Amino acid sequence: MAVGENSANELLVRIEEKYHGLSKGQKRLADYVVENYDKAVFLTAARLGEVVGVSESTVVRFAMQLGYKGYPEFQKALEELVRNRLNSIQRMEVAYGRISQSQILETVLQSDIEKIKLTLGTIDQSAFNMAIETILNARKIYVVGIRSCAPLASFLTFYLNLVCEDVTAVSTNSASEVFEQLIRINEEDVIIGISFPRYSMRTLKALEFASNRKAKVITLTDSVHSPMNLYSSCNLIARSDMASIVDSLVAPLSVINALVVALCMKKQKEVVGTLETLEQLWGEYQVYSADELNPLSDIGEE
C-alpha cells in the first residue's frame, strides 16, 4: 500500500509501518480500516469488532499498537483521514482518469446498469416486504436524506404523499432543526433514512434519535456494514458508485420506484381516488396550462 507523507495519511502510514507486527485479528482490522475507513469512522470499538469478527478488546489493543492512547484518539485520526482523503478531484481521477472522452457516455451508463443488476441480485426481498408493511401501518412517515441523497428523499416523499396520509420530509439545514421536527416521533411512526458514502452524520443522528423514541427505522444504503444500519431493523441495500465527481444513485432510485409501485398496488383504490381528486383540482386551479395538457389540440384549427 503506497501512501503519501502528508498529515491526512498519518493513520495509513502507521498501519503500513506496524502491519507485519500485528496479530492475525489486528491485521483483519487493519485491512478493513484501509478499505472501508469511510464506514469505520462511524463505528464504536464494539461494533467495529463485531463487523470484523474480533473482540472489542482486540480493537482497543489495535488502536494502541498503532501508537494511539486509546480508541477515541484512533477514531479522531480516522475522522481526519475521511475529511481529507477523498476530494472530488481524486474521485474523478479514480473513476475516469484512463477513459477517453468518446467512451464516457457508454462507460457511465454501463456502470449504472451494472449497479442495478448487482442490486437486483443481492437485495433482501423479505426486508423489502417488511418495509412495505411498516410504511402502510405507520401513523406518520418521516423521510430524511441530505446532500446528494436529498433528491432521492424528495422524490420518495412526493410519491408517498399520493399513497399515505401523513408524510414529512425532514429538513436538514441544521442539527437542531432535525430534532425539532422529530420531537413527537414515537413507536407508531416510521423514519426512512437514505445515505451513501460519504455517510451523513446528521442523517445518522436523526435515525439514532428516532430509534431511541422506539420508532420503526428503515434504511436505504449501500452495504450491510453501513453505519446507517446501526439503528435499523429493515435494511434496503442498493449498490452505488461514489468513485466519481458525480454520485451514482441510479440503483437506489430504482429501489425507491419499486417501493412506490408496491405501495400503490397495496392501496389501489385510495391512490386512484387521490389522483382523480388531484386531476380535478389541477383543472379547477389551472395548475397546468392548456398547452401542457393538450399541446396538439389547436393544430390545424386556424
Q: Between these two residues, 265 and 243, which has the higher pLDDT value?
A: 265
Per-residue model confidence as pLDDT tens digits over 157-169: 999 988 888 999 9
Nearest of 246, 247, 193, 239 to residue 220 by alpha carbon: 193
C-alpha dist (Å) from residue 120 to 38, 114, 142: 24, 10, 26
Residue spans of alpha helices (H) in the chain: 10-18, 24-35, 37-40, 45-52, 56-65, 71-85, 88-96, 104-122, 125-137, 150-163, 175-181, 201-212, 250-266, 268-284, 290-293
**What is the C-alpha to C-alpha distance for residues 76 and 41, in angstroms, rounded to an integer?**
8
Q: Give the bridge partners for 219, in sequence order.
A: 193, 235
What pLDDT digit, counting tens, does each position of 276-285 carry?
A: 776 766 676 6
Give all domains of the chain, ordered by start, each with its CATH number.
Answer: 7-85 (1.10.10.10), 106-282 (3.40.50.10490)
pLDDT at residue 65, as a whole number: 93
According to DSSP, residue 195 is labeled: -
Question: If 0-12 CB within 10 Å is exposed, 13-18 middle and 19+ buried, where does residue 110 land?
Answer: exposed
pLDDT band at 219 (very low <50, low <70, confident <90, very high): very high
Is pTM, for the whole model, over 0.75?
Answer: no
Give the three cell numbers for residue 100.
Answer: 477517453
Grid cell, residue 29, equals 482490522
pLDDT surpasses 90 at 152: yes
DSSP for residue 54 = S
Among 240, 278, 277, CA closest to 256: 240
Identity at 208, one-letter amino acid code: E
Q: Is the pLDDT of residue 156 over 80?
A: yes
Length of the chain counted residue by residue: 302
Extract long-range pairs of 172-175: CB within 8 Å, 24+ residues apart: 172/144, 172/146, 172/200, 172/202, 172/203, 172/206, 175/202, 175/205
Q: What amino acid occupies position 37?
A: Y
Q: Which residues of 43-82 are buried (b: 16+ CB within 10 A; e: fewer)?
A: bebebbbebbebeeebbbbbbebbebeebeebbebbebbb
pLDDT tens digit sequence for 222-244: 888 788 888 888 999 998 865 55
